[in-house]
């Protein structure tokens, strides 16, 4: 009996010591234990959520949803991007109307230990010409294109698949039935355009002509959160330029919804011009305008050096 009691006492003490050191080690080395716990977040060779260098893992929602409420402070920042004169109440009423027509929440594939969400973000740079990146781009699960980016006739260099296409009214193009239309909004009119261009037809005006109607799948519409635009401008770009380019927003969005990110078609062409791969450049002095293009490019290069994403610079 005495022997049994001694054995029981020993086991209890050993268990207590083990628990103490386990907890103590977790407090001393939280990063080590965090990595051990996260080793199966995805099926990629390396998952973004396991990368200690990432600073983008914020609580800012990338997309709007029916349950999301933009703060008035974020609205006041956003409305100055293109001199919006209408008030916060008008914004809220318009967004409420938006989600009566389109999905109340964005369709995003959630992370899983048995899935690798690999993404290709395809910019529009002239450095894609002659790159032969097409097969590599099409190999990825999610393929994000933007604005007037096109594939027909350029498949060898840019691929032919698209899963998400980011645009605003002035850059809109028709999409097929399987592609997500991702609206990058700058003003209340952009929400109104989206509603009407996919229903009764839009008759408003902007700083340049916009399509009255657009072909796209209403069930696959997603809208970038204006507060997220501000977050990217302030935290990622250090307030450089007036606001982020569509291309840079696409990269940061990919870092939020993908496990592995491949970036193509960014930066100047071989002659130092910021041209588009489908156009014959006429303006040799074409730069990045209100966007901090060179700084955005440096950020992408730094992310590549940190192995946060894979960057393909073209020829």
Binding-site residues for substrate sit at 82, 124, 147, 207, 243, 247, 267, 276, 291
Residues written for the chain? 315
Q: What is the dihedral of CA 119, 122, 128, 133, to 10 degrees?
A: 20
Tokens coding 314: 């073209």
Q: Among this protein's residues, is 297 annotated catalytic?
A: no
Straight-line distance from the first to the last Cα atom of the chain, in angstroms, rounded to the nearest whole number: 81
Q: Which residue of the set 91, 133, 168, 243 is catalytic?
A: 243
Q: Among this protein's residues, is 243 annotated catalytic?
A: yes
Residues that constitute the known binding site? 82, 124, 147, 207, 243, 247, 267, 276, 291
Q: Which residue of the set 168, 180, 291, 312 is catalytic?
A: 291
Q: Which residues are catalytic?
A: 243, 291
């Amino acid at each position: 009996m005495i022997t049994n009691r001694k054995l029981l006492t020993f086991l209890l003490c050993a268990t207590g010591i083990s628990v103490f050191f386990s907890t103590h080690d977790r407090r001393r080395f939280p990063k080590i234990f965090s990595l051990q716990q996260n080793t199966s977040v995805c099926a990629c060779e390396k998952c973004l959520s396991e990368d200690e260098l990432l600073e983008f893992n914020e609580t800012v929602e990338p997309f709007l949803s029916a349950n999301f409420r933009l703060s008035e402070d974020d609205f006041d920042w956003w409305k100055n991007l293109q001199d919006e004169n209408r008030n916060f109440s008008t914004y809220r009423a318009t967004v409420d109307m938006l989600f009566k027509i389109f999905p109340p929440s964005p369709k995003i594939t959630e992370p899983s230990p048995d899935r690798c969400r690999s993404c290709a973000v395809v910019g529009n740079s002239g450095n894609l010409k002659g790159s032969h990146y097409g097969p590599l781009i099409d190999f990825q699960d999610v393929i994000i294109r933007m604005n007037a980016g096109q594939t027909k006739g350029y498949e060898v260099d840019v691929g032919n698949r698209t899963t998400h296409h980011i645009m605003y009214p002035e850059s809109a193009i028709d999409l097929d039935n399987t592609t997500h239309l991702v609206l990058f909004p700058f003003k209340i009119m952009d929400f109104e355009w989206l509603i009407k261009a996919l229903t009764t037809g839009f008759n408003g005006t902007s700083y340049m002509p916009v399509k009255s109607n657009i072909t796209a799948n209403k069930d696959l519409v997603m809208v970038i959160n204006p507060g997220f635009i501000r977050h990217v401008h302030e935290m990622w770009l250090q307030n450089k330029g007036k606001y982020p380019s569509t291309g840079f927003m696409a990269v940061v969005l990919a870092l939020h919804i993908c496990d592995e990110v491949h970036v193509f078609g960014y930066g100047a062409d071989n002659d130092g011009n910021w041209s588009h791969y489908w156009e014959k450049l006429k303006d040799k002095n074409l730069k990045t305008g209100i966007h901090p293009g060179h700084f955005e490019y440096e950020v992408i290069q730094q992310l590549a050096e940190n192995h946060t994403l894979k960057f393909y610079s073209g020829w």
